[in-house]
Amino acid sequence: MAQGARKVNWFAIWVTVGVVVALVLVAVLVVALNNSSAPKPLPTDVVTPSASNIDAETGAILVGDGEDRLDTYIDFMCPICNQFEQLYGAEIESMVDDGTITLGIHPISILDSQSQGTQFSTRAANAAYCVAEADAEASLPFLQAMFADQPQERTRGLTNSEILEIAAGVGVTGIDSCVNDGTYAGYVTAITAETPVQPGSQGIGTPTVAVNGEVISNSQLPEPGQLATLFE
């Protein structure tokens, strides 16, 4: 006599179904999290900063009131800009403080492609204008703090919240909407395109330095401690 039909192992079936459902939920959660962390598109309309310490025509954030003028064009994702800051930053600050120079900081964005689509360079430059507009005296400390916490190239860079924390660390608050909305992002893009090219270069690079309006090649920079010779 043939044996009866084999019993169905409903427990095993339900366990399998449960595992499948759990995997689907995990996949949905991962997609949702990825979408929620996707960077907010930055505005392209050009809103020009109007503070007296910002030269709207050139994009220079002005620090100090010395007779001689030193302009630096920097990208906050640029590691060589950070090296420039480590080599010359203290000397530049001293020359500003003693009234020797006026420093023009030009935050530009040529390395957005190096931040996994988050446009860190543009967001950071935008934040520099937000800070400068809110508190002129915080402009240079903010630059220094951003380079002290500089992310590596080909990472997502700092979040807006982290940038706002750095701004708060130099005494600037109340700029959340300016940073999060990318108020000056379109301006950063427009002014970046106007960056002068170093002699002998084929395109825009950072850092780029101008002395009393004349752009010099980085090979002309003196040894640290000798920046004053640029103005002789």
pLDDT, position 28:
41
Residue 29 or 174, more confident: 174
DSSP string, 45-88: S------TTEETTTTEEEE---SEEEEEEE-TT-HHHHHHHHHH
pLDDT digits (tens, 9 = 90+) for 185-216: 999 999 999 999 999 999 999 999 999 999 99
Q: Provide the β-strand partners of residue 184.
A: none
Q: Specify the pLDDT at position 41.
A: 87
Q: What is the mean pLDDT of residues 182-186?
A: 98
Taking a C-beta distance cutoff of 8 angstroms, is the pair 75, 113 a contact? no
Range of lowest pLDDT (10-19, 106-115, 155-164, 213-222): 10-19
The predicted pLDDT at position 40 comes to: 76
Average pLDDT value over all residues in the chain? 90
DSSP the chain: -PPPPPPP-HHHHHHHHHHHHHHHHHHHHHHHHHHHTSPPPPP-S------TTEETTTTEEEE---SEEEEEEE-TT-HHHHHHHHHHHHHHHHHHHTTSEEEEEEE--S-GGGTTTS-HHHHHHHHHHHHHHH-GGGHHHHHHHHHHTPPPTTS----HHHHHHHHHHTT--S-HHHHHTTTTHHHHHHHHTTPPPPTT-SS--SSEEEETTEEE-GGG---TT-GGGGG-
pTM: 0.84
Percent of the chain past pLDDT 70, that is, above it, reads: 83
Give the bridge partners for 215, in sequence order: 210
